[in-house]
């Protein structure tokens, strides 16, 4: 049945309204921004009309005067993912008790694109740091992310049977073990950063640990998850949907970038520019996710497709329409890339391409 709702225009997004003015002069703290409602009509787009690719294959236009050097992005991603996988393998050896470690490794080493740990490493390199400085934090971020996936898939949460093309953790090991595996990965994440980070001042490590912890807790990932749960069966407007996804998805991507900059020795200004970049790509990740959910099959995604549509869940395509959702995504990419223009173009190249990769991903 056709659906229409009055929603706030995405032009009033708490992200897109935070445009940089004269660099970082007089920045407005993200959490203090207020939405100014504007009314537009958003028509629900039926599933059958959502079959075209998200964005064209060509690279999104970069900001004026931003010259990007030649960069082999695919090779970079493969190389970094291999190193991250090797570090994760070493971080969670198969030991007693066997069942819990098998469960942890089952989800942690199940593949995936390793976007968050690579973001952490690339952000460290952005400010002149070495990969080795960021690797413990990069692993920690992926452990936290894996924990969130294990718990999110549980019957009491999103109740999913498929993740990364495999049965979800609770389907493979049982609900009790899945809960404990997530808990174990969460605690190991902080232990790993504290024990394995070297050649960085304790004060800087502590700040990075605090950043990661805040991204997970009651004002971060958990906040997004609880508001999402409480919103089930209710009509959600665009500002509420953005709150859910900024916290549920974007916060951990933000922590990945910010912690990487911190580990690399970045300045306060570097951290804030990295934070703005990450907020944009974090929300972008979810906008793309929503579009892929209705344009791809379960086989293509490696997880259950069409679930949001079937459950009448609020998504960006549903509230904005597919074309407006795509435009919103393109605007998020533009602002993310604008933040990178303050850095050395060669060092920023991986993050530039990562933004485009997130925009154009197909699963």
pLDDT in the model for residue 233: 79
pLDDT in the model for residue 111: 84
pLDDT tens digit string along 175-211?
Answer: 999 999 999 999 999 999 999 999 999 999 999 999 9
Please check whether residue 127 is in contact with residue 264, taking contact to mean a CB–CB distance below 8 angstroms.
yes
- Report whether the peptide linkage leading into residue 97 is cis, meaning its omega lies within 30 degrees of zero: yes
- Report whether the peptide linkage leading into residue 37 is cis, meaning its omega lies within 30 degrees of zero: no
Rounded-to-integer distance, Cα 90 and Cα 113, Å: 19
Mean pLDDT score, 129-154: 97
Higher pLDDT, 12 or 42: 12
Residue 265 region by backbone torsions, left for phi larger than 0, else alpha for psi between -120 and 50, else beta: left
Please check whether residue 229 is in contact with residue 178, taking contact to mean a CB–CB distance below 8 angstroms.
no
Mean pLDDT score, 301-328: 72
**Residue-by-residue DSSP string for 179-204:** HHHHHHHHHHHHHHHHHH--SS-HHH
Rounded-to-integer distance, Cα 4 and Cα 118, Å: 39
Rounded-to-integer distance, Cα 45 and Cα 192, Å: 45
The residues, any chain, with a CB within 8 Å of residue 82's CB and separated by 6 or more, are: none
Q: Which residue spans within 152-290 are E strands per DSSP?
A: 162-163, 166-167
Ranges 44-48, 144-148, 192-196, 245-249: which has the least confidence: 44-48
H or E element at residue 4: strand 4-8
Cβ atoms within 10 Å of 183's Cβ, excluding its own: 15
Is 130's pLDDT higher than 60? yes
pLDDT in the model for residue 24: 30
pLDDT tens digit string along 70-115?
Answer: 789 999 999 999 999 999 999 999 999 999 999 999 999 998 889 9
Higher pLDDT, 71 or 48: 71
């Amino acid at each position: 049945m056709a659906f229409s709702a009055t929603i706030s225009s995405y032009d009033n997004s708490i992200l897109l309204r935070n445009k940089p003015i004269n660099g970082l002069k007089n920045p407005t703290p993200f959490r203090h921004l207020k939405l100014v409602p504007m009314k537009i009509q958003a028509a629900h787009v039926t599933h059958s009309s959502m079959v075209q690719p998200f964005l064209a294959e060509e690279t999104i236009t970069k900001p004026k005067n931003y010259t990007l050097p030649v960069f082999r992005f695919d090779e970079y991603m493969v190389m970094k993912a291999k190193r991250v996988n090797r570090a994760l393998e070493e971080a969670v050896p198969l030991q007693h008790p066997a069942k819990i470690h098998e469960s942890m490794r089952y989800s942690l080493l199940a593949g995936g694109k390793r976007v968050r740990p690579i973001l952490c490493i690339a952000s460290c390199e952005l400010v002149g740091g070495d990969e080795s400085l960021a690797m413990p934090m990069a692993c920690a971020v992926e452990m936290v992310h894996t924990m969130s996936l294990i718990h999110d898939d549980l019957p009491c949460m999103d109740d999913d049977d498929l993740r990364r093309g495999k049965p979800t953790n609770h389907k493979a090991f049982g609900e009790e073990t899945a809960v404990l595996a997530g808990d174990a990965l969460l605690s190991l994440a902080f232990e790993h950063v504290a024990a394995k980070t070297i050649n960085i001042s304790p004060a800087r490590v502590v700040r990075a640990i605090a950043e990661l912890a805040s991204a997970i807790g009651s004002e971060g990932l958990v906040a997004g998850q609880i508001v999402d749960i409480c919103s089930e069966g209710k009509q959600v407007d665009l500002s509420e949907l953005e709150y859910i996804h900024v916290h549920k998805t974007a916060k951990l991507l933000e922590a990945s970038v910010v912690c990487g900059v911190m580990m690399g020795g970045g300045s306060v200004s570097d951290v804030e520019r990295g934070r703005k970049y990450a907020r944009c790509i974090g929300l972008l990740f979810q906008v793309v996710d929503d579009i892929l959910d209705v344009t791809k099959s379960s086989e293509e995604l490696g997880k259950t497709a069409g679930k949001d549509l079937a459950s009448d869940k609020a998504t960006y395509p549903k509230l904005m329409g597919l074309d407006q959702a795509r435009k919103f995504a393109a605007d998020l990419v533009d602002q993310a890339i604008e933040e990178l223009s303050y850095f050395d173009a060669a060092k920023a190249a991986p993050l530039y391409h990562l933004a485009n990769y997130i925009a154009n991903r197909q699963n």
